[in-house]
Amino acid sequence: MILLLLAVISATTAFQGDIVNITLNEPAVVTLDDCMYFVETLENSSHLSAGTHSIKVTHSCLGLYQIKVKTNSSKYLIPLRVERDPDPEGSIVELEEKVLQLSRQVANLKSEASYYKKLFEIVNNMNVELYDRIQSYAEENEMLRKELEKYKTMTSNCTKVVKQLEGKIEYLNNTLTRLEANNSELLQQVEDLTSKLSTTKANLDIFQTLFFVTLSFLVGSAFALLRR
């Protein structure tokens, strides 16, 4: 191992396909050759925090390379020699297994993506339907509000009409009371006239009786004088 003031690398020599760890004492920008990448970022240049980070050495690497470590105050180069894979057939088998695993993961991700796409379409359709319902409810609410305003106006008008009718009813009741009073007076006058009429009729009957009696007396007296 090489011990630096800034970083420690787990090996100075690696084989194609190996993973090498680098440990940083402080945050730094670490730059690798294009044939290498950081396992956590899948990039060959990354701003890394203090701690241990894994570097993947691909099969395209062969020879001596320099790992660049840079902070705000200093720069360092860490040499790394990459030798040919001693067991390329085993590496190919391992790569095929990894490719198969990745293919399965991709298939699973595609299945999940298809599921989430359908779910998104369902949710989107629900959102559209919900939006249409909200629009419909908003229009219905506006219609009901206008109808309510109309009924309020009608109620106000009806209240005015009711007050007018109450005034007319009060006037008619007063008129009826006055007419009833006049009717009572007229009835009293009719009773008085009826009483007077009865008295007058009785007097008239007496007068007629006296008239006929007197007339009979005069006629009798006239006949008596004529006989003499």
The domains of the chain are located at: 2-86
Architecture of domain 2-86: Sandwich (2.60)
Q: Return all residues near 39 (Cβ < 8 A) that are at least 6 apart.
A: 19, 53, 54, 55, 56
Q: What angle do CA 106, 107, 109 make, to 5 degrees?
A: 60
pLDDT at 227: 66
pTM of the model: 0.48
pLDDT at 93: 74
CA 24 to chain centre: 54
Q: Return all residues near 30 (Cβ < 8 A) that are at least 6 apart.
A: 7, 22, 24, 38, 45, 46, 48, 53, 67, 68, 69, 70
pLDDT at 160: 81
Q: pLDDT by residue for the chain (228 residues), tens digit each?
A: 343 456 788 889 999 999 999 999 899 999 999 999 999 999 999 999 999 999 999 999 999 999 999 988 889 899 999 999 888 877 777 777 777 787 788 888 888 888 888 888 888 888 888 888 888 888 888 888 888 888 888 888 888 888 888 888 888 888 888 888 888 888 888 888 788 777 877 777 777 787 777 777 777 777 676 666
pLDDT at 53: 95
